[in-house]
Amino acid sequence: MSPLLKVLRISILALFLLCFLTKSAPALEDAIIGVVNNEVITLKDLRDYIHSAYVTMVTQGEDQDKIKEVMDDLKQNGIQKLIEDKLILSKANQIQMTINPKAIDDRIEDLKKRYGSEDNLINALIENRASLTELRKKITDQLKIQYVIEDQVKSKVFVNPEEVTKFYKDNQDKFKREPKVNVQSIFLSFDKRNKTVIQELAQSALTRLKNGEKFEDVAKDISDAPSLGIIEKGKFLPAIENVLFALNVNEVSNPIEVETGVYVFKVTGKFPAQIASLQDVKNDVEKLLYKIKFKEKLVEWIEKLKKDAYIEIK
């Protein structure tokens, strides 16, 4: 980014914050900060755009981390995002993109259900200095942007089988699978018994197993949790993994104490580290490549919209 553009963005942000904090500054709100084709963008437009994005995310139930991430980005890049949205909406209008009112009504109805009632939704909007009409307008714009991108970009993105195969062969390290063990387990919880009783039960279980009883029968009698089954290395408690991956098939562990109780394990199978087959991962690879190609095409498309437009940032 050029130093001049950085200064412009910092200046715009400073003006935005000043306008937001100072109610008696109507002249600042009318200040022109940009031009897109024959449409001027004022400081009020930018403030309303950022506020509308915030209200929409809050109303639609986005988590706070996501909201903070988006708002931080808008504070730095709001003018660029606003320009891009205007260009995309202009393209949607140019190709006469229309939104079925039912699609908007369905979104509103979903929000009413999420908030419990229409009154609760309206009250939430009022608390954030917004209205149902503004929300409908924002949803309409969102759907137009979504649909025009699907029409102009997504529909033109394809991933062929050769690309999937090449990515798989060139990135074998990404498809490495860690060793696994298949285990039967007995768990004795500290929430249900005291330590002394648990230690006695665990030793009793070992004795029964040595005397030839089936592990699953002993587990059924005393275990406080279902058997763990297959465990992949690196996904469980290190103290337990160290024991499990050292055991031989059909070998039973000594009691292992953890924070919540005591385990006894029997390893019934071992699976070495391996590279996942193309058949197993091809759908994931295809989705990944599609996402990468879509992002590239979207950037190209937006840059073309900008190139074909008159844009000036004051």
CATH of the domain at 16: 1.10.4030.10
Residues 20-34 have a mean pLDDT of: 62
Length of the chain equals: 314
Q: What is the pTM of this model?
A: 0.67
Look at residue 170 and tell me if it is in a domain: no
Look at residue 173 and tell me if it is in a domain: no
* For residue 215, pLDDT beyond 60: yes
Q: Rounded to whole angstroms, how far apart are CA atoms 35 and 41? A: 6
Distances (CA, A) of 300 to 36, 150, 306, 307: 19, 14, 10, 10
- If asked whether residues 19 and 146 sit together in one domain, one would say yes
- If asked whether residues 106 and 200 sit together in one domain, one would say no
Look at residue 313 and tell me if it is in a domain: no
* For residue 241, pLDDT beyond 70: yes
- If asked whether residues 97 and 193 sit together in one domain, one would say no
Q: Which residue has the higher pLDDT, 29 or 221?
A: 221
Q: What is the CATH number of the domain that holds 198?
A: 3.10.50.40
Domain count, the chain: 2
- If asked whether residues 13 and 143 sit together in one domain, one would say yes
Look at residue 166 and tell me if it is in a domain: no
- If asked whether residues 62 and 107 sit together in one domain, one would say yes
- If asked whether residues 146 and 211 sit together in one domain, one would say no
Is 84 within 8 Å of 90 (Cβ atoms)? no
* For residue 1, pLDDT beyond 80: no
Look at residue 297 and tell me if it is in a domain: no
- If asked whether residues 142 and 249 sit together in one domain, one would say no
Residues in Cβ contact with 183 at an 8 Å cutoff, skipping those fewer than 6 apart: 227, 228, 229, 230, 231, 244, 265, 266, 267, 268
Write out 71-91 in H/E/C secondary structure.
Answer: HHHHHHHHHHHHHHHHHHHHH
Look at residue 213 and tell me if it is in a domain: yes
Look at residue 171 and tell me if it is in a domain: no
Look at residue 132 and tell me if it is in a domain: yes
Q: Rounded to whole angstroms, how far apart are CA atoms 254 and 243? A: 9
Q: Rounded to whole angstroms, how far apart are CA atoms 5 and 197? A: 71
From 7-11, 106-110, 207-211, the region with the lowest mean pLDDT: 7-11
Q: How confident is the model at residue 29 (pLDDT cuts 50, 70, 90)?
A: low
Domain of residue 233: give its range.
179-272
- If asked whether residues 139 and 195 sit together in one domain, one would say no
- If asked whether residues 148 and 185 sit together in one domain, one would say no
